[in-house]
A and B are shown apart, each in its own frame.
Chain A
Amino acid sequence: MKIEARNLSFSVRGKCLLEDVSLTVQPGESLALVGPNGSGKSTLMRLLCGLVKPVQGDVLLAEQPLARLTRRQAAQRIAIVEQQADTAERITVRSVVELGRIPWLSALSPWSSEDTQLVDDALRTVEMEGFAQREWATLSGGERQRLHIARALAQRPGLLLLDEPTNHLDIHHQLSILNCIRNLKVTTVVALHDLNQALTCDRVAVLSQGRLVALGAPDKALAPETVNDIFGIKARWVQDADGGAPFLSFQLA
């Protein structure tokens, strides 16, 4: 599902968090959002899924204004995995993933075997099918994160937004989640801190102080000059001795 941001601006109590950001993500494409802390990545995510309304500009989902959709229609198209979503409820792993089916259920279309199937699939995708009856409180940070992703997958969205999904994950699960995201047939926008992980996405958008400073193919958008400039470090390309793709190496400037 295609999503387009047109001249998005957002501010809270007079402080501008995002200014005049325009970008388009094509159906099936994966876009990495990178930028320093406070650069507006999460704000852009929240605008793209309609959780907050832009002060200026529009979001178009499959060429239609997002603002015209009801919350329910939006939730049938867009799923978001936010940072640090926690609960004190004694809810089981399976029930968390079942929450993802809420946008599709109503009094006249109650839970069906298809919903059960989708929940099973989502749990399998994040390798948590053995955890179904565990309680939320007993899970590690990484397991919780994978569970949120499973919940988002159970929503069957056309557009998946992930805000730092690899936080709290060990390296195996970081790679497997990113791999899983790449293999999804949906459009994804993923905020990442690890620039080398961003290199594996189709395109990269770089945000700094609420503005879009670079957008394009990963090796262009994350050119060392750009990275040096906005993060205040010294980055350089390193060739992989085994012939893999080049990666970025960093030092304090």
Chain B
Amino acid sequence: MSAAAALAWQGVRGACLALPVLAAAVLAGAMIGETPLAPDLVLAVLANKLAGAGLPVDPVDQGIIWSYRLPRALVAAACGAALAVSGVVLQALLRNALADPYILGISAGASTGAVAVTIAGLGGGALSLSFGAFNGALLAFGFVAILARAAGAGSSRAAAAQIILAGIAGSQLFNALTAFIIAKSANADQARGIMFWLMGNLSGVRWPDVWLAVPLALAGWLICRFHARALDAFTFGSDSAAALGIPVRRVQVVLIFATALTTAVMVSIVGSIGFVGLVIPHAARFLVGPGHRRLMPAAALIGAVFLIAADIVSRVIIPGQVLPIGVVTALIGAPSFAVILVRGQRAAR
């Protein structure tokens, strides 16, 4: 078998394993909710919409499935996968087990952008919350990147620590700006609304969001997957990576920008869902080991399924009320993470 064929085969095999699991999760996302719907109903709606089958389906059910639950499940999958893979990449690149996609100030910047538009009235009502959040995220990331560059000029050895410190400084600054805007001009309702958005919210998700989130998650995935071996080379630090032939600075810039951009878009669509980008990489590492060629697909799949599941739970756990998904991810994530940590320790002994 030629090398290219072997590579293609590897990809096909991976997809064959992952796609059924993903499809099942999306199907569950479309079925479960305040109105439970049967799987054949979901399939009938899909047949109608995608193949024009013209099967008889109650238009209300069809609306729920097609306009609300499917885009929601798909965006949850894209977002979960993107956050988890970003977490894997940043943890490897910065050699820090606590790194997550928000370490570059993105979540803090997004919230500043969101409150600047919704509460401070930036743009006079012409701008959407997502637009504000996305630009706030980019602004904060820009600040962090410039600060890290100014502080860590030259040596790649210190770069990881400088990026983390710059990220902390940036996050603090933008969180303070957010708090300032809320304290200055928000009423109680607005403050509560922003808090809900900050903890993650998939209720507003529609098809246009799918067309943004899914291709972006795939593009981010391809860029990161392409660098899997380079990330392995960072196991013993950036000097060691350089000695193994990795163009360290270029890889750092490409991957940090790729993860920052995907995270910024995801945050602007669904708010800053915590925990996924931090914990899923560790869970995946526990299951398949630290090699990135297996770790990244595993993290992407677990992240996607986990976020779909968390969204389902957030919709059904309190009847008549939707819980912010960030609350669910943390409530499920923290104890499962504790179990993984303890069992991981035992296995190492």
A122 located at the interface, meaning its Cβ lies under 8 Å from any Cβ of chain B in the complex: no
Cα–Cα, bound, A95→B291 (Å): 8
A86 located at the interface, meaning its Cβ lies under 8 Å from any Cβ of chain B in the complex: yes
Tell me whether A105 and B229 are in contact (CB under 8 A): yes
Tell me whether B243 and A110 are in contact (CB under 8 A): no
Known contacts A86-B236, A91-B290, A107-B7; decide if A49 and B245 are in contact (CB<8 Å).
no
Residue numbers in A under 8 Å from B237 (CB-CB): 85, 87
Q: What are the interface flags for A135-163 relative to B under an 8 Å C-beta threshold, 1 for contact and 0 otherwise?
A: 10110000000000000000100000000
* Least CB distance, B211 to chain A, in whole angstroms: 29
Tell me whether B97 and A99 are in contact (CB under 8 A): no
Tell me whether A88 and B236 are in contact (CB under 8 A): no
Cα–Cα, bound, A85→B95 (Å): 13
A15 located at the interface, meaning its Cβ lies under 8 Å from any Cβ of chain B in the complex: no
Cα–Cα, bound, A99→B246 (Å): 12
Residue numbers in B under 8 Å from A76 (CB-CB): 245
Chain A interface residues toward B at CB < 8 A: 49, 51, 70-76, 78-80, 82, 85-92, 95-96, 99-100, 102-103, 105, 107-110, 135, 137-138, 155
Tell me whether A89 and B290 are in contact (CB under 8 A): yes
Tell me whether A100 and B244 are in contact (CB under 8 A): yes
Tell me whether A110 and B233 are in contact (CB under 8 A): no
Cα–Cα, bound, A89→B229 (Å): 15
Residue numbers in A under 8 Å from B97 (CB-CB): 88
Tell me whether B233 and A99 are in contact (CB under 8 A): yes
Tell me whether B290 and A95 are in contact (CB under 8 A): yes
Known contacts A91-B235, A109-B3; decide if A75 and B240 are in contact (CB<8 Å).
no
Tell me whether A71 and B232 are in contact (CB under 8 A): no
Q: What are the interface flags for B1-45 relative to A under an 8 Å C-beta threshold, 1 for contact and 0 otherwise?
A: 001101100000000000000000000000000000000000000
Q: Which of B259-304 contact A (CB under 8 A)?
A: 285, 289-291
Cα–Cα, bound, A78→B39 (Å): 59
Residue numbers in B under 8 Å from A138 (CB-CB): 348
B199 located at the interface, meaning its Cβ lies under 8 Å from any Cβ of chain A in the complex: no
* Sample of 7 A–B contacts (CB below 8 Å): A82-B239, A88-B95, A89-B235, A90-B348, A102-B233, A103-B244, A110-B3
Q: Which of B109-130 contact A (CB under 8 A)?
A: none
Residue numbers in A under 8 Å from B229 (CB-CB): 102, 105
* Least CB distance, A131 to chain B, in whole angstroms: 15
Cα–Cα, bound, A82→B240 (Å): 8
* Least CB distance, A134 to chain B, in whole angstroms: 11
Q: Which residue of A lies closest to B246 (CB)?
A: A71
Tell me whether B235 and A51 are in contact (CB under 8 A): no
B327 located at the interface, meaning its Cβ lies under 8 Å from any Cβ of chain A in the complex: no
Cα–Cα, bound, A88→B285 (Å): 12
Q: What size tier do the contact residues of chain B reach?
A: 20 to 34
Tell me whether A72 and B7 are in contact (CB under 8 A): no
Option from A78, A87, A92, A103 in Cβ contact (under 8 Å) with B236? A87
Cα–Cα, bound, A189→B56 (Å): 79
Cα–Cα, bound, A167→B344 (Å): 31
- The winner among B3, B4, B244, B248 for most chain A CB atoms within 10 A is B244
Cα–Cα, bound, A74→B247 (Å): 11
* Least CB distance, A140 to chain B, in whole angstroms: 16
B242 located at the interface, meaning its Cβ lies under 8 Å from any Cβ of chain A in the complex: yes
Q: Which residue of B lies closest to A96 (CB)?
A: B235
Cα–Cα, bound, A71→B248 (Å): 9
Q: Which residue of A lies closest to B10 (CB)?
A: A110
Tell me whether B7 and A80 are in contact (CB under 8 A): no
Known contacts A89-B235, A90-B348; decide if A71 and B7 are in contact (CB<8 Å).
no
Cα–Cα, bound, A105→B246 (Å): 12
Q: What are the interface flags for B212-242 relative to A under an 8 Å C-beta threshold, 1 for contact and 0 otherwise?
A: 0000000000000010011011011101101
What 15 new A-B contacts, CB under 8 Å, besides A51-B242, A87-B235?
A51-B239, A51-B243, A71-B242, A71-B245, A72-B245, A82-B239, A88-B95, A89-B235, A90-B348, A91-B235, A95-B290, A99-B235, A102-B230, A103-B244, A110-B7
Tell me whether A85 and B7 are in contact (CB under 8 A): no
Residue numbers in A under 8 Å from B244 (CB-CB): 75, 99-100, 102-103, 155
Tell me whether A75 and B245 are in contact (CB under 8 A): yes
Residue numbers in A under 8 Å from B6 (CB-CB): 110
Q: Which residue of B lies closest to A103 (CB)?
A: B245
Cα–Cα, bound, A99→B291 (Å): 10
Residue numbers in B under 8 Å from A103 (CB-CB): 244-245
* Least CB distance, A133 to chain B, in whole angstroms: 11
Residue numbers in B under 8 Å from A110 (CB-CB): 3, 6-7
Cα–Cα, bound, A102→B251 (Å): 15
Tell me whether B245 and A90 are in contact (CB under 8 A): no
Residue numbers in B under 8 Å from A71 (CB-CB): 242, 245-248
* Least CB distance, A10 to chain B, in whole angstroms: 12
Cα–Cα, bound, A237→B265 (Å): 71
* Least CB distance, A86 to chain B, in whole angstroms: 7
Cα–Cα, bound, A155→B243 (Å): 10
Cα–Cα, bound, A99→B230 (Å): 10
Residue numbers in B under 8 Å from A155 (CB-CB): 244
